[in-house]
Amino acid sequence: MTNGNEWWRSAVIYQIYPRSFSDGMGDDGLGDLAGITERLPALVELGVDAVWLSPFYTSPQKDAGYDVADYCDVDPIFGTLADFDAMEKRVHELGLRLIVDLVPNHTSDQHRWFQEALASAEGSQERARYMFRDGTGDTGELPPNNWDSVFGGPAWTRTIHPDGTPGQWYLHLFDTSQPDLDWENPWVREQFRDILRFWLDRGVDGFRVDVAHGLIKAAGLPDYTPPASGGSMGGGIVGLEPEIVANAELDTPTPPYWAQERVHEIYRDWHSVLEEYDGERVLCAEAWVEPLAKLARWVRPDEMQQAFNFSYLETPWEAPAMRKVIDLSLEAFTSVGAPSTWVLSNHDVVRHASRLALTAENPQGHGIGPKSPGKPVRELGLRRARAATALMLALPGSAYLYQGEELGLPEVIDLPDESRQDPTWFRTNGERYGRDGCRVPIPWEAEAPSYGFGPTGKSWLPQPADWEPYARDAQRGVAGSTLEMYRLALAIRTQHDLGMGGAEWLPGYGDDVVAFRNGGVTVIANTGEAVVELPIGQVLLASEPLGDGILPGDTTVWLRS
Ligand code: GLC
């Protein structure tokens, strides 16, 4: 049931990564639900419309909560269901919306369903919940096929019978501790309808759906060798970089574990579950799929409302590529009546304040660490990040922000090896650093222990010693700070209703410039080094100080049209 308002079409949605947002319980240097509830007013002040929480469910935390052992409870490290209810109430009192993460592709190996499957006979109903298969080779000693895990290493693990003899293999597209469910099984579908209703009944406004391109695997699980350039998070259809795949190229090869056509019947089903509820509940797909025209299938009118635009995220800071991806995005999403989304950072990618100044190729998920080539210059990264954000927030559609980007936080590159926790790091024997560098607890107060993250001074990943200037209280009210730039951009975005507007290209600015008009605002982004002459107009927002009538390099300006 919709009432015609459709808040999600233009919403700015702020991603909270619970373990790194705020440690309200003050126990272990890990963020929690109480910490979120306490700090929500800061997000109202920032000016966002909604929050999305990464998983806080019962979990052994082998993949930071994306390994769920109970979908309908809160892990004690984050609090209780009562803490969730208190947070949900506060979110809504403050006029925000609440989206939670749903992880349907796999469970934790500690989930009761998987434990029961392991304890049951081959061919049993319990085993049929997951993807158990006999091995190949003379004695089943080889995996059922050649698929690799997204985190590195084989996608199959062999089980051991209680008497110590080897048994069947099970599929895990991610870590060994994350067995894939079998979505061909109606029992699995029924469980997830119940899980959706559990959280909808508690008042959530929607779900961010993890690995929404992976649930259905091709019949027979055929062997597949991905092209050499694919990014690690699956790379969607092919590696997403460096070229943006044109919408016309719909025939790009599809791995047998991603983007199978029949996955859509699941989202049609969920769409109808959400329709049982009032209040415009939404589904947002985390689907690494290219081209955008194919991704748009996830947001057809009877499926999901939104899909993350990773093509946009992966576009280099170069005006021709930016113009192209914006065009392709608007074309693809508009063709199915959905809003485009825009995103620059999340918990799986190098923070854009560092990524946009990398000088060596860095496939998604590999991360950067002390030995990485092409490390970014911090000042350049921040300058480009501010310009890129100012461009993004002027685009029509819905935008996602990742906690800490409003502070201009860089990726933490020099984390000590022994502090790293991403399974990618372990599964590749340290060859890929993984995603910990964007997950370091965020700084609130320059002078407090752990920068105000929690009262104990502890933090589950070490915070850099030079983060005082990034702390929220050091930027609050300081004109020109990154925090104040975000606040101003969000206020103007609301005032001019840019999210519901359009983008009309303005020609004549040269190759290094992205220039368009969205309603009453003219947006000019200079991705090059040479200065650009500005038209006469009142400056509403500038990502850096402007020269007299001049737009410097790596700077974005909003002018009153
Ligand atoms: C998604 C999540 C990522 C997680 C993976 C497996 O891509 O964003 O953090 O590791 O799924 O659940």
Give the pLDDT score at 219: 97
Could you tell me the distance, in angstroms and rounded to a whole number, from the CA of residue 344 to the centre of ligand 1? 16
Nearest to 307 by CA among 321, 327, 322, 288: 288
Q: What distance in Å separates the CA atoms of residue 223 and residue 542, rounded to the nearest whole number? A: 51
Number of the ligand 1 atom closest to the C-alpha atom of 234: 7
Tell me the per-residue pLDDT of 214-264, one tens digit each, with 9 for 90 and over: 999 999 999 999 887 554 454 443 334 457 888 887 777 789 999 999 999
pLDDT band at 4 (very low <50, low <70, confident <90, very high): low
Residue 66 CB–ligand 1 contact under 6 Å: yes
Q: What is the pTM of this model?
A: 0.97
Check if 544 is active-site: no
Number of the ligand 1 atom closest to the C-alpha atom of 106: 12
Residue pair 57/65 in contact by the 8 Å Cβ criterion: yes
Mean pLDDT of the chain, nearest integer = 95
Average pLDDT for 118-122: 96
Residue 233 CB–ligand 1 contact under 6 Å: yes
Number of the ligand 1 atom closest to the C-alpha atom of 105: 12
Give the pLDDT score at 31: 98
Average pLDDT for 25-46: 97
Q: What distance in Å separates the CA atoms of residue 50 and residue 347, rounded to the nearest whole number? A: 17
Residue 187 CB coordination number (10 Å):
13
Tell me the per-residue pLDDT of 483-515, one tens digit each, with 9 for 90 and over: 999 999 999 999 999 999 999 999 999 999 999
Could you tell me the distance, in angstroms and rounded to a whole number, from the CA of residue 54 to the centre of ligand 1? 10
Number of the ligand 1 atom closest to the C-alpha atom of 173: 6
Residue 30 CB–ligand 1 contact under 6 Å: no
Amino acid at 237: I
CA-proximal residue: ligand 1, atom 2 (nearest): 210
Which residue among 105, 171, 174 has the greatest number of ligand 1 atoms within 8 angstroms of its CB, and so is best to mutate? 174
Give the pLDDT score at 237: 37
Residue 103 CB–ligand 1 contact under 6 Å: yes
Average pLDDT for 358-378: 96
Give the pLDDT score at 354: 98
Count Cβ neighbours within 10 Å for each residue of 154-184 and write b for 16 or more, e otherwise. bbbbeeeeeeeeebbbbbbbbbbbbbbbbbe
Which residue among 68, 208, 347, 348 has the greatest number of ligand 1 atoms within 8 angstroms of its CB, and so is best to mutate? 348
Check if 210 is active-site: yes
Give the pLDDT score at 238: 36
Nearest to 502 by CA among 404, 378, 396: 396
Residue pair 410/382 in contact by the 8 Å Cβ criterion: yes
Tell me the per-residue pLDDT of 140-181, one tens digit each, with 9 for 90 and over: 999 999 999 999 999 999 999 989 999 999 999 999 999 999
Say if residue 209's pLDDT is above 70: yes
Q: What is the three-class DSSP state of 559?
A: strand
Average pLDDT for 419-434: 97
Q: What distance in Å separates the CA atoms of residue 250 and residue 253, rounded to the nearest whole number? A: 9
Which residue among 17, 61, 211, 346 has the greatest number of ligand 1 atoms within 8 angstroms of its CB, and so is best to mutate? 211
Average pLDDT for 528-554: 97
Give the pLDDT score at 248: 82
pLDDT band at 304 (very low <50, low <70, confident <90, very high): very high
Q: What distance in Å separates the CA atoms of residue 204 and residue 362, rounded to the nearest whole number? A: 36
Which of 29-43, 221-235, 311-325, 355-369 is the least confident region? 221-235
Which tokens go with 380? Answer: 């350049």
Could you tell me the distance, in angstroms and rounded to a whole number, from the CA of residue 433 to the centre of ligand 1? 16
